[in-house]
Amino acid sequence: GRGRGRGRGRGRGRGRGRVAAAAEEAVEDDAEDDQGGSERDAPAEPLTLGPGFVHYSGDVYVHSSQRPGAVHFDLTFQLYGADKVHYPFRDCDPTGKYKKGVDQPLLRSKIAVKRYLEREGERENLTDEQFEEKWTAALAESKTLAEAKAKEDAAARAAIDAEFEAAYAAANPGTPDAAKSPGKLVAPGAKVPKGYTVVTVGGAPAAANAADEPPKPPTRREQVEAILERFDATIAQCCYCLYGVELCDRDKLPRRCRDEGGAANTVSSLDSVEDCAELWAYVQPYAEAVHDKPGFAAVLQAVRRAFPPGAAAPREGDPVEAYLAAMPDFREGAPEAANVSGDVRTMFDDDGVSRGAASRDEERSLARAAVTRAPPGPAPLDEGEEDGDEEDGEGETAESAEGGGAEGAALDAVAAMTDAEGAFTAIADAARAAPAAEGAEGAEGADVPKRPKKKKASDDPAVAYAGVHRTLHRFCAAVADVRENDEAFERIAHTFPLVIDLLRACFEPPMMNGEPPSMADDATLAETVRQLNGGEDSRISGRAARGASASLSPGLTAAQAAGRQFQLLKADLVHNPARFEGWLALADHVDAVKDLALNDAAKLVTVKDWNENGQHSATAHALVKKLQLALRRATCAAVACAPNELDRSQGYERQGLAAYEMVQASPPFHDGRRWKLSRDAAWRAALGLARDAFDGAARCAPTEWTYRCHGAKVARKIGEPCDELFDRLKATVDAAPGNLEAFYQMHASRIKFLVRLAEGKANGTMAQDERRRAMETIASHAFEPETLGYSGGSTKWRAMDPISRWDALWRDAAAAIKAAAKLLPAYHKASYRLAWSRLRYPGRADGRLPPDIVPDELNHHGAHHHGAHHHPGLAQNDDAVAAARIALAPLFKVDSNAHAAMKDKDACFKYNEQAPRFNIWMWEIDDYNLSVGRGVGGGKRGSYIGSSFRLHTVGVNESGRKFVAASRKATRLYLCLCFAAGDLAPLVAAPGYIGDERHKHARSMPDLRALAFALAQRGLVLAASNSEDSESVRRASELGYWMWVENAGLPWDELNRDGTMEYHLELRLGEEDPEEPSALIGESFLSKAKAADAQLAKVLASTRLEREFERMALNHVSSLAREGLGGIRCLKNMHADLARRVDDAERASRVRTRGGGVPAAPLAQLKTLAPIRAAVFASCVAATQSAVASFAPLEETPNYDGAQTTHDTNDALDARREVVDAALRLRADAERRAAELVRRQSHSQPPTNADEDEVANAMEVTGSLLVRAVAAATP
């Protein structure tokens, strides 16, 4: 699944918070207590495999036991080795999750065992289907053994009972009643239930000390609990009879009156809003436990229709909505930025990077006012009114005044209420906070008159029914709608308008059945209940409501679900303004909706459309701003009303992440090329807000590493001093040992700060003493201190000159990042940062090689290969460019022959049987995608990076937007590196891969597709002009062939125009920013680009560019005809590939458009492929004929035993077989084309004379060729 909802929607690299960790640990402790899963409980003697255990998987065996008198089976899973001796589940909690140092002797859940097996890699190389089939068979066998054992035990018990009855009858002769045993056989000293007496077999009572003691009187608490149980049973029976709501299990209801017809024909009482309010007061204490019970869903929908979220706001206006849209009053000198609506306000100011800014005080004042306002509620009643309702809180005051006797007084009050009717009314009134209902009167069977409408405390419905609003909306948001919301959020917004609908959902009321919900005091709701149950009365048809969702309408879209949830959370806060959980839930929901929309937009909407699509773009930007403001307001309120430090840290965390999002250059706002993030005053203000929030979260939760990690990243962007920055990073690493994200941030920051030191020295902005102190700080956090030689100012360190020290620090930091990339190749951050560091190394300007580059690494990867395209007069590829491309290699899959060409001079592309390949091999970073803990992909938990770091977890979950930005950045750099290094095969293959709609990168990289096309064009034209290197020209011709075939039928004018535009943009960006790929690569890229432009101008002066590539393709085909057997092998595979492409195009051309026409693209593709296909066919025939003519006849000589043998070697026989295979394929193709002509004639599509002549000639040539080839291969 997409992993939507809060976790996937927010997805900003948050680690597991302290609350989640504490909850998980509590669950694990409970599970451990239930299962007794600790090593100290294991017996001293080793357990061996006993009867009843069935092999499950690996070393896991399962045992089933059937509960007496039931059909349920209890499962027990244990580990037994090859010697059949038991050993525990290592590093595992009772739920199967990883827990270091904890062992479990057994597990009791299939899910727990599955987690353990996947983590330990003991799936036996089976697929999920095979694995499930094997598990099912093992469980079935185990259950069969358990059933047999249960039958055996039952028979044994029956035999013992019969023996006891016979012995009792023999010891008590007389009447049959006297001879009948009064009980069952029990063991000596066994515990006997109250009310039973232990007798001997002879009938005499047991000894006095064995007799049962007289029953003790119940305690006061037991009496109260018995009364409360009676209340529960009474409420459950009444709700079941009236509404069909089952508040308890079916077998615990006092009477099944609906099954008996006792309440089947009564009129529903859900005829008014007052009745719905009264019903909710009755069921609210039980709602969370029974929300999935039959009948409850329909009643809940009726109550929700009577009290929609919009009715929760008082008549004077919605205070929560006003607060979420409030802007602080900015003081003079604050930056002003015009938004879409025309206001000149901005969310942040830049007064000291927002720390201590005046608007921050105003913002906090708004939050305090929002959480301390009085909620809507009935005013105190005047004396003399007979309603008897009391203010909430008076009882609490009197209760607290008694000083410690609150619990006893409450128990006494409930115990005194022995009348069930009065107690029922008291509980209902307390639950709904409404005027008490008059008690029912009359004896059983008497008519009960309809209760008169009670006097309302206010004419405002929000005030009159405040008790309902205080609990109903919170329950619907947190319990009733969860499953349907999760399903709705899985639906991708695949168009721009759908993304806008999702963004707009929080600012418009949800539409239910095409109409907004309405509020009517006297609305008749019984019909609603019947409609929701399929047209039947809810009290009659329990099965209609069974399993129904507790939501308002089925099949909601993501926008509808988001809008409904927002309104519910907002309505709850209207009546519970000081509830911290409510503000935090609202912040999380707004954040999730925003992230869902932007993550979908990043993958499905181009950045150009997002920023330049007229009305859609303006609307989207305005809605995102409103969501960001609402999120900021909700987080401020959560911080203001947090009851403790732990909760306050969560509010600060959301606050910091909301601000930090605004300083990240990610789609759909920014693409890193045309739309770049502006680092202006608003950017610095957002950084300041994020830093302050993360620092506050770290103060409130000192042991949580994520807050410190985010604070360190923000501090690095702001430009904090070296010692302060690395103090933050050190605290992060200490708080999260084994965390890869913390480890990476430490050493990536070391490299970035070293670059800052070099720039400060070059431009004179950093003093020498400051640089020296910074270098010592960086050295104190070394990856390998012994190798570095720095340990408190050692002799080795002091003996180094400044440049040697700088290089040693660079080598150490780069070694840490390289080790992380090697351990987890899918951790793309490390691969990209390593490539960046090798290009960004300041010593390159002086001709020095980055100190982390090892010559063996370059030689192993063939960096100095002879197959690359070099041109006279150009700068040779430097080692830094080659090393950077090696660092990025794990993120991309390219053709294996390209790597072979890099390693071996003779392994060129001339015998390539397929088109070059290119694939982006990147995924979102998280523990699952990187296989951490599952023991696959090289990232097994517990692996070491260097000598000091042991991997435990990745520690970050990458959002969709960040992943798109990272994949774009890495792909762009890799394409430019390939151009600079002369490796043109990936450039030829990249446009086809990126432009394929089946791949997830198609909509997020259209500009990079055009850039790759332009770079491939220029690289091939330049390589083809290199007359001094015939091998380079030959490889350029082959790649030109594949480029022509891959883009057959596409409009080359548009491709050339778009490619040229993106290519020139790339060059211009490199001139403006040193961090752009062309500037990072340097002269290797720029000199080649200049030479390619000059050569391209010469080509365009004489012909069109597509004609040039067609000429290159035909030259390559004709050259293969002269290559002998290698050329034949390549030509026949090329011919098969072209036949497939032509067949696909012909099928597509037979599909008619809506207007009845023929699609243009397939026809253009057929027109382009026809001449190249004919050339390949002719070259293959010519090469085969030439090979047949060169074969000498096979001679035969008799052997001594009369057998025949040939004098030809095996290689000669293989050559003849290759020629025969080529002739057979050519003949088969000719026959297939002839059959196609016959089919077209039968469908009234007569072929042209040219087609008939071509097929006839092919049949004649291939027939003769096949005969000659077979004859040449026959002795």
Cα distance between residue 89 and residue 111, in whole Å: 14
Task: Encode pLDDT of 946-995 as tens digits.
Answer: 777 888 888 888 888 899 999 999 999 999 999 999 899 999 999 999 98
| Bridge partner residues of 57 (DSSP) | 60
pLDDT recorded at residue 1158: 62
pLDDT above 60 for 50? yes
Taking only Cα atoms into account, the Rg of the chain, rounded to an integer number of angstroms, comes to: 40
350 Cα distance to chain centroid: 35
pLDDT at position 938 over 60:
no
Q: What is the pLDDT of residue 1016?
A: 95
Q: Please tell me whether residue 703 adopts helix, strand or coil conformation.
A: coil
Extract the tokens encoding 800: 């180094």
* Mean pLDDT, rounded, for 1173-1194: 85
Q: Which of 21-25, 119-123, 785-789, 1039-1043 has the lowest mean pLDDT?
A: 21-25
Is residue 883's pLDDT more than 50? yes
Per-residue pLDDT for 779 more than 60?
Answer: yes
Q: Is the peptide bond before 668 cis (omega within 30 degrees of 0)?
A: yes
pLDDT (0 to 100) of residue 954: 87
**Model pLDDT, residue 495:** 83
CA atoms of 1215 and 1193, how far apart (whole Å): 13
The tokens describing 885, both together, are 């491309």
- Residue 339 pLDDT more than 80? no
The number of CA neighbours under 13 Å toward the Cβ of 443 is: 0
Between 856 and 1195, the more confident residue is 856
Q: Is the dihedral of CA 1213, 1217, 1222, 1227 positive or negative?
A: positive
Check residue 416 and give its pLDDT. Answer: 38
Is pLDDT of 1193 > 60?
A: yes
pLDDT for res 359: 66
Question: Token pair 């006012």 is at which residue?
Answer: 369
Asked whether 350 and 681 are in contact (CB, 8 A), the reply is yes
User: Which of the residue ranges 150-154, 304-308, 699-703 would you say has the lowest mean pLDDT?
Assistant: 150-154
> Among 1058, 1171, 1196, which Cα is nearest to 1110's?
1171
- DSSP assigned state of 949: E
pLDDT for res 1218? 82
**216-223 own/partner pairs: CB under 8 Å, 24+ apart:** 220/411, 220/415, 221/411, 223/415
Evaluate if residue 909 carries a pLDDT over 80: no
Over pLDDT 70: what percentage of the chain?
70
Average pLDDT, integer, range 633-655: 94
Question: CB–CB of 1113/894 below 8 Å?
Answer: no
Dump pLDDT digits (tens) for 1224-1243.
888 888 888 888 878 777 76
912 vs 901: CA distance, rounded Å: 11
CA dihedral 1246, 1247, 1253, 1254 (to 10 degrees): -150
Residue 168: the pLDDT is 66
DSSP 267: P
CB 589 within 8 A of CB 481: no
Give the orientation angle of helix 1006-1024 with respect to helix 985-995, to 10 degrees.
150
Which stretch of 30-39, 284-293, 1005-1014, 1176-1185 has the lowest confidence by average pLDDT? 30-39
Instruction: With a cut of 70, say whether residue 1272 has pLDDT above it.
Output: yes
Question: Which residue stretches of 1121-1203 are H helix?
Answer: 1125-1149, 1160-1190
Q: Which residue has the higher pLDDT, 596 or 533?
A: 596
Residue 1133 CA, chain-centre distance (Å), reads 41
Tell me: the pLDDT tens digits for 436-448? 333 333 333 334 3
Is 219 a residue whose pLDDT tops 80?
A: yes
Task: Give the whole-angstrom CA distance, residue 1126 versus residue 1139.
Answer: 20
Q: How far apart are CA 555 and CA 574, in angstroms?
A: 28
Residues 1155-1162: contacts with CB within 8 Å, 24+ apart?
A: 1161/1049, 1161/1050, 1162/1049
**pLDDT averaged over every residue in the chain:** 75
Instruction: Provide the pLDDT for residue 1066.
Output: 93
Q: What is the model's pLDDT at position 71?
A: 66
What is this structure's pTM? Answer: 0.71
With contact defined as beta carbons under 8 Å apart, do 1037 and 1112 qualify?
yes
| Better pLDDT: 310 or 192 | 310
pLDDT band at 190 (very low <50, low <70, confident <90, very high): low
Whether residue 261 is predicted with pLDDT greater than 90 in this model: the reply is no
Structure tokens at 1159: 């699609």
**Banded model confidence at residue 188, pLDDT cuts 50, 70, 90:** low
In 186-327, DSSP assigns E strands to none
Tokens (6 digits) for 245: 């709501």
Residue 381 has pLDDT above 80, yes or no: no
- The per-residue pLDDT for 542 is 36
pLDDT at 52: 81
Q: At what angle do helices 705-718 and 645-660 cross, to 10 degrees?
A: 40
Distance in angstroms (rounded) separating the CA atoms of residues 1038 and 1028: 18
Alpha helices in 480-579 (DSSP H): 482-489, 496-504, 526-532, 542-545, 558-575
Give the position of tokens 């408190």: 792
Q: Which range is least confidently modeled, 299-303, 367-371, 785-789? A: 785-789
- The secondary element (H helix, E strand) that includes residue 290 is helix 287-290
Mean pLDDT of the 1195-1206 span: 48
pLDDT tens for each residue of 1061-1108: 999 999 999 999 989 999 999 999 999 999 999 999 999 898 888 888
Burial of 564: CB neighbours in 10 Å, binned 0-12, 13-18, 19+: buried
Rounded to an integer, what distance in angstroms lies between the CA atom of residue 334 and that of residue 349? 5
Task: Provide the pLDDT for residue 1207.
Answer: 46
SS3 at position 77 = strand
Nearest C-alpha neighbor of 465 from the set 371, 378, 562 = 378
**Residue 277, SS3?**
helix
